[in-house]
């Protein structure tokens, strides 16, 4: 099952994608893609619906972030050995964690704003894991039971803010529009092996990232279990699991985003994003 939120920014409605690829309106069934909907019981209720009786949403409708309430975005740094190498950093012995501000969330095809004074805005395609039920001190063998689904995340990053402004990665990660998520939340029954997904990213039609989740150092179950030892994961929380090599920082010489660039970001079975970048301007 593929769940979406559609409509004008800030006024999104819940929906799903049927087997023919048509968008169906769920707003007559549920108020939004909430914690209740993401629970095992909530997802089971949606699967029982007669989808053909749901209203269709017009083609070309904007997609928003596919989860209504996200209390936190937990990111995993350097989770691909070859990305750690291109970043000139050691392979971590434990997952490297940082948080992105929820104010950075944006729809999968919305504009990405290059921050004021930025010179090193970069891209990172990542597998997103959406939590479906409260997880605290869970064991790895039980961790996947807490997952409601998977999605595409572009962990947009400003490298100078991240690495040259006092050592806190959050500074370069949480800018407005730096977390495009979606287009869909794909439930685990359609993702039999999250450790075998191709993921890619193009800028202006040139492929920079072309990897596989098979090369992650720490897998999804390990990450959910590990993170739950340090903070309670709540329904709707997103874990962004790290990026394969090919980021702008790792190019020789480095390549960074400029206004007017077009990013295409995708993961096998989870859909594709498209963002145009623009320069920051005062609202």
Give one DSSP letter per residue of 112-177, joined into a string.
EEEPTT-S-EE--EEEEEEE-S-BSS--HHHHGGGEEEEEEEE--EEHHHHHSSSS-GGGGT-STT
DSSP SS3 for 38: helix
Segment 200-218 mean pLDDT = 97
For the cut 90, the answer to whether the pLDDT of residue 13 exceeds it is: yes
Residue 169's pLDDT band (cuts 50, 70, 90): confident
Distance CA 246, CA 201 (A): 9
pLDDT of residue 107: 98
For the cut 80, the answer to whether the pLDDT of residue 266 exceeds it is: yes
Is domain 73-279 annotated with CATH 1.20.140.160? no
pLDDT of residue 85: 81
pLDDT of residue 82: 81
Residue 87's pLDDT band (cuts 50, 70, 90): confident
Chain centroid to Cα 192, Å, comes to: 18
Residue intervals in the chain for CATH 3.90.850.10: 73-279
For the cut 90, the answer to whether the pLDDT of residue 172 exceeds it is: yes
Q: What b-and-e string marks burial along 141-153, b requiring 16 or more CB atoms within 10 Å of the CB?
A: eebbebbbbbbbb
Q: What are the tokens at 258?
A: 């400029």
pLDDT of residue 137: 98
For the cut 80, the answer to whether the pLDDT of residue 126 exceeds it is: yes
Distance CA 101, CA 158 (A): 14
Q: What are the tokens at 228?
A: 């739950």
Do the bridges between strand 2-6 and strand 185-186 make them parallel or antiparallel, or are there none, so unpaired?
antiparallel
For the cut 90, the answer to whether the pLDDT of residue 22 exceeds it is: yes
């Amino acid at each position: 099952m593929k769940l979406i939120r559609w409509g004008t920014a800030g006024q999104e409605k819940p929906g799903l994608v049927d087997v023919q690829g048509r968008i169906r309106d769920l707003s007559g069934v549920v108020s939004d893609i909430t914690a209740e909907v993401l629970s095992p019981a909530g997802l089971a209720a949606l699967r029982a619906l007669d989808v053909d009786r749901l209203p269709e949403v017009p083609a070309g409708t904007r997609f928003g972030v596919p989860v209504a309430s996200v209390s936190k975005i937990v990111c995993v740094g350097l989770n691909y050995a070859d990305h750690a190498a291109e970043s000139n950093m050691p392979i971590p012995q434990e997952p490297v964690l940082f948080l992105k501000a929820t104010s950075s969330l944006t729809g999968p095809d919305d504009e990405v704003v290059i921050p004021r004074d930025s010179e090193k805005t970069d891209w990172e395609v990542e597998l997103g894991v959406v939590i479906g039920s409260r997880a605290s001190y869970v064991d790895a063998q039980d961790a996947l039971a807490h997952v409601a689904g998977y999605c595409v995340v572009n962990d947009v990053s400003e490298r100078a803010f991240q690495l040259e402004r006092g050592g806190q990665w959050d500074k370069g990660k949480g800018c407005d529009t730096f977390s495009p998520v979606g287009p869909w939340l794909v439930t685990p029954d359609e993702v039999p092996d999250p450790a075998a997904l191709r993921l890619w990213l193009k800028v202006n039609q040139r492929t920079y990232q072309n990897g596989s989740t098979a090369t992650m150092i720490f897998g999804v179950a390990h990450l959910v279990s590990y993170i739950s030892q340090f903070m309670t994961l709540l329904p709707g929380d997103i874990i962004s699991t790290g990026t394969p090599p090919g980021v702008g920082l790792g190019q020789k010489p480095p390549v960074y985003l400029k206004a007017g660039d077009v990013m295409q970001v995708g993961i096998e079975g989870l859909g594709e994003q498209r963002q145009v970048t623009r320069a920051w301007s005062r609202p």
